[in-house]
């Protein structure tokens, strides 16, 4: 049984330890993450970014029991448990499987999760062109032809992260 939990980022360590005590040994936390490379003062900085912010998916068989859920409400570091997770199990599992499908060998989500479209503006989130806006001209299997200002170039899909602008 999957549930969606909002937690306090400052107390995440306490939160995980309390869950160990309250849930079975098979409990599982999943939080999809991106690894962003930024240049700051000519140095490459790698930053881990949680896609869901301060939300995490938690799986345990005991979560069907309402008594267990009521005990979890008082766990240190937990803000609240989202309601409606019982009726949304299919959607949660589908989202998690899609995220896992696009994870690389280190467990970070790759750029392939985003559906790219031609003639739309995007913004670099990693690499030397961080925060620069570009337009996609042509999409090939692993390469993308882009227009950045007056400059036309080709980039590798897997090398950079970018978001719709």
Digit-coded pLDDT (tens) for 96-120: 998 898 888 888 887 666 677 888 8
Q: State which residues of the chain have pLDDT below 70.
A: 111-114
pLDDT at 57: 94
d(CA 30, CA 55): 10
**Every domain of the chain and the residues it spans:** 2-109, 112-164
pLDDT at 118: 85
Q: Which fold has domain 112-164?
A: SH3 type barrels. (2.30.30)
Neighbours of 44 (CB within 10 A): 11
Instruction: Check residue 9 and report its DSSP letter.
Output: G
Planar angle of CA 122, 51, 148, nearest 5 degrees: 15
**Same fold for the domain at 2-109 and the one at 112-164?**
no
pLDDT at 63: 86
CATH classification number, 2-109, choose in 3.30.70.940, 3.40.50.720, 3.40.630.30, 3.40.1280.10? 3.30.70.940
């Amino acid at each position: 049984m999957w549930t969606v939990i909002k937690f306090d980022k400052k107390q995440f360590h306490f939160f995980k330890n309390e869950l160990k005590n309250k849930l079975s040994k098979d409990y599982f936390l999943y939080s999809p993450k991106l690894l962003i490379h930024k240049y700051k003062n000519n140095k490459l900085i790698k930053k881990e970014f949680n896609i869901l912010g301060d939300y995490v998916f938690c799986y345990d068989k005991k979560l069907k029991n309402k008594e267990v859920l009521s005990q979890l409400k008082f766990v240190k570091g937990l803000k609240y448990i989202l309601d409606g997770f019982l009726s949304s199990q299919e959607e949660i599992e589908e989202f998690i499987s899609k995220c896992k499908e696009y994870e690389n060998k280190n467990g970070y989500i790759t750029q392939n999760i985003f559906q790219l479209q031609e003639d739309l503006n995007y913004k670099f989130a990693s690499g030397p062109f961080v925060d620069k806006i570009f337009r996609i001209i042509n999409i090939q299997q692993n390469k993308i032809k882009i227009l950045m200002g007056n400059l036309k170039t080709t980039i590798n899909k897997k090398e950079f992260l970018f978001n719709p602008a």
